Amino acid sequence: MTSGTLERATALPALQLGSLTVDPAVVLAPMAGITNPAFRTLCREFGAGLYVCEMITTRALVERNEKTLQMVRATPGEADAFSVQLYGVAPATVGRAVEMLVDEQVAGTRPAHIDLNFGCPVPKVTRKGGGSALPWRRVLFRDIVRAAVAAARDVPVTVKTRIGIDAEHVTYLEAGAIAQDEGAAGITLHGRTADQLYSGTADWSHIARLVEHVDIPVLGNGDLWEADDALRMVAETGCAGVVVGRGCLGRPWLFGDLAAAFAGDTRRVLPTLREVAVIMHRHATLLSAEQGELHGCTDFRKHVAWYLKGFSVGSDVRRALAMVSGLDELAGLLDRIPDQPYPEAVLGAPRGRTSPPRPVALPQGWLDDRDDPRPPAGAELPVSGG
């Protein structure tokens, strides 16, 4: 692969989360429908430090929903760095889910790390009082973190959150202090409020404030499109590591760039289209091994536009790739595209979902009493949400 260079170079030490060392200090963020075993394997091959599976609903795990049990299983190659992110609004259910992961090892191995989701802004989660809505109920938040840490024993537990519900209901500093007091090993902050969803620009100044406010490691998240963005975030905020989500869509080699950047290396990978095609086929092959060829290639279709962003590809080939159903068919279609250098014009450009800001859906009366320890009636997502 060809390489570009950046003038800025730095080195970031390994991230320490309890007894777990994450080196490089780079975490693959959980993304629904994306961070399955195939994608985690691909990112691991390029150099991520910790790989988080798709968000797991604690109720579904406790009820041993078969789909959820499949989602939570580690692959043989990731046993020493397998991470599970849990969503839940009831302390007892969260505690039981952690027990199952740690003591029963329902993932096929003991997870190296457990993360608690208090950052999801989507309405189906927040209207149940979960995700980024939950830290507003500080006693309930405390009880959930306490239950998870107690059940996890020596497995480090971290929390992921946003700045708050909106500009009038900011929660991250208090949530960070509570998480630290309850024994969390670290906290990730996405530099947006819930009502911003994925619009606008992440405000990293809040990450810097949180670093000053707590003693546990703070990881930064939001608008990390290139390795240089991560270097700038570390320089501006003092965060101990970064969590990468949308920036790696169609660009798993970003983790190699991040590993190089945090080692002080200025080289960056700029793959040609032929090299990207090899990665695309590898991705589809991993999905096919996991799900069967037809389902794997069908699942791969959503990645095509991300991989090909900025490349000159005919509309007929793009349409065919959007309907691909076999690995040989995929290889044949990719071979039809002339090789070309990486389109540097797309570097630093947002990837994945964007959405305009909108008011956060909340349970009735959710903002009335911050010290109410009870989750809303019927607050757990249905088992099918796992």
Q: What is the pLDDT of residues 289-316, one digit of tens each?
A: 999 999 999 999 999 999 999 999 999 9
Marked catalytic residue, from 43, 120, 239, 248: 120
Q: Where residue 368 sits, what CATH number does that domain have? A: 3.20.20.70
The tokens 């070309």 sit on which residue? 340
What's the distance, CA 160 to chain centroid?
10
| 335 and 365 co-located in one domain | no
| 118 and 262 co-located in one domain | yes
pLDDT-above-70 percentage for the chain: 95
pTM of the predicted model as reported, rounded to 2 decimal places: 0.93
213-242 confidence digits (pLDDT tens): 999 999 999 999 999 999 999 999 999 999
Q: Name every residue whose Cβ is closer than 8 Å to that of residue 100 and which is 6 or more positions away in sequence.
A: 61, 62, 106
> CA 54 to CA 310: how far, in whole Å?
28
Residue 3 within any structural domain of the chain: no
| 144 and 288 co-located in one domain | no
Residue 349 within any structural domain of the chain: no
Domain count, the chain: 2
| 265 and 284 co-located in one domain | no
Token pair listed for 341: 């250098």
Residue 89 within any structural domain of the chain: yes
Determine the residue type at 223: D
Q: Is residue 19 within 8 Å of residue 343, measured between CB atoms?
A: no
Q: Is residue 102 within 8 Å of residue 111, measured between CB atoms?
A: yes
| 225 and 278 co-located in one domain | no
Domain range spanning residue 82? 9-269+357-379
Helix (H) or strand (E) holding 17: strand 15-17
> CA 255 to CA 263: how far, in whole Å?
12
| Least confident range of 38-52, 74-88, 163-177 | 74-88
Determine the residue type at 108: G
| Whether 120 is catalytic | yes
> CA 86 to CA 272: how far, in whole Å?
38
